[in-house]
Amino acid sequence: MPLGIALGIPASMLIAAFPAVCGYFLIPSTGVLIAGVAFDRTGTTRIGKYVLNHSYMIPGLVTTSVSVIVGLVLVKIIM
């Protein structure tokens, strides 16, 4: 945030884009992701062969993208 403000990016745009910095879902190393895989009895939640190939990848990218788009739309409506 300080760098964005120093670059002259409006604070409202920085707040709208803030969900983009959340990358917890990207690498399956947090306790919630590992527990989700461990507790799944159906076998549909899994960590794939590669590090960036797991069940939380697509939902995380979709929700982050939608959050940023909605934030930018709200900035345009409010400002």
Q: pLDDT tens, 16-70?
A: 988 888 777 677 777 777 787 778 788 777 776 776 777 777 888 898 899 999 9
pTM of the model: 0.69
What pLDDT band is residue 10 in, cutting at 50, 70 and 90? very high
The answer to whether residue 73 scores a pLDDT higher than 90 is yes
pLDDT recorded at residue 51: 64
Query: In angstroms, rounded to a whole number, what is the distance separating the alpha carbons of residues 71 and 53?
Result: 28
pLDDT recorded at residue 30: 75
User: In one letter, which amino acid is 36?
Assistant: G
